[in-house]
Amino acid sequence: MALRNRQKMVMLPMQVWDLPVRLFHWLLLPLLPAAYLTMKGGYPAVHLIIGYVLLALVLFRVLWGLFGSDTARFAQFLRRPAAAVHHLRRLTVAEPDNEVGHNAAGGWMVLFMLLLLLVQAVTGLFAHHKGGPDGPLAKFLGDTAAGLVTNVHGANFKLIFFAAAGHVAVVAVYLFIKKQNLIRPMVTGKKRLPAATRAPRLRSRLLALLLLIVAGVVSATLATQF
């Protein structure tokens, strides 16, 4: 029995994050600051292009959350809110990371960030930009409604900033206090997990490419057909 227990604790590398999820995650790192800087710096046309890219990426991530790999699917990583609260209560407890994908709290954070990004991209389609081209759907709104949407667009980006800062802070807590490195798996795609852990099903990159094309076509259509 003792030998069997020791065998169960053997840790082996396992692929948990697919390339599409990792690319989506890391592409946000330069794109979000670029969106802010191009708007503040007086380059609204470039800002719009970045917005269309972000919209395509967010739409792709939603599709990948429905049809993608196990660890990318909303149905797999969204757990009961009570489970997220229980996890947060142990945030300062150093312990092994045996989660195959997102933990109970991290899953809700992913959904929250996706919603913020989706709101940002959609409101940008209707927003007025001083000194440059408006969003492609702004002409369908009156001045009052367009002004309201533009204000939401600006305020929502502040929420994204605070959410991103909170994400970085929590990752630091995991690294230095909980003793779990969440960064390395998002770079390599692999985690060391107990040998008895069932590996997640990873969908093909071809499917990811097809879904990305669909998302890109939707974004490009909104950008050019109105």
Q: Write out the two tokens for 223.
A: 């950008």
Binning pLDDT at 50, 70 and 90, where does residue 225 land? low
Share of the chain above pLDDT 90, in %: 79
What interhelical angle do 143-176 and 19-40 show, nearest 10? 130
pLDDT tens for each residue of 62-99: 999 999 999 999 999 999 999 999 999 999 999 999 99
3-state SS, one letter per residue, for 90-121 = CCCCCCCCCCCCCCHHHHHHHHHHHHHHHHHH
Q: Write out the two tokens for 77.
A: 């990583």
CA distance 13 to 161: 33
The dihedral through the CA atoms of 124, 31, 222, 121 has a sign that is negative
Binning pLDDT at 50, 70 and 90, where does residue 224 land? confident
| Residue 196, beta-bridge partner list | none
Binning pLDDT at 50, 70 and 90, where does residue 7 land? very low
Three-class secondary structure of residue 73 per DSSP: coil
Using alpha carbons only, how large is the chain's radius of gyration in Å?
A: 20
Residue 109 pLDDT more than 90?
yes
pLDDT tens for each residue of 163-191: 999 999 999 999 999 999 999 999 999 99
CA distance 148 to 136: 16
Binning pLDDT at 50, 70 and 90, where does residue 1 land? very low
Does the reported pTM lie above 0.85? yes
CA distance 100 to 190: 10
Given this model, what pLDDT does residue 226 score?
56
Binning pLDDT at 50, 70 and 90, where does residue 119 land? very high
Average pLDDT, the chain: 91
Three-class secondary structure of residue 13 per DSSP: strand
pLDDT tens for each residue of 123-174: 999 998 776 778 899 888 888 898 899 999 999 999 999 999 999 999 999 9
What is the domain partition of the chain in residue ranges?
A: 11-224
Given this model, what pLDDT does residue 113 score?
97
Residues 6+ apart with CB under 8 A from 175: 181, 182, 183
Q: Write out the two tokens for 108.
A: 């809700």
Amino acid found at 14: M
Fold of the CATH domain 11-224:
Fumarate Reductase Cytochrome B subunit (1.20.950)
Residue 3 pLDDT more than 50?
no
CB count, 10 Å around CB of 131? 7
Q: Write out the two tokens for 167.
A: 């994400």
Given this model, what pLDDT does residue 25 score?
97
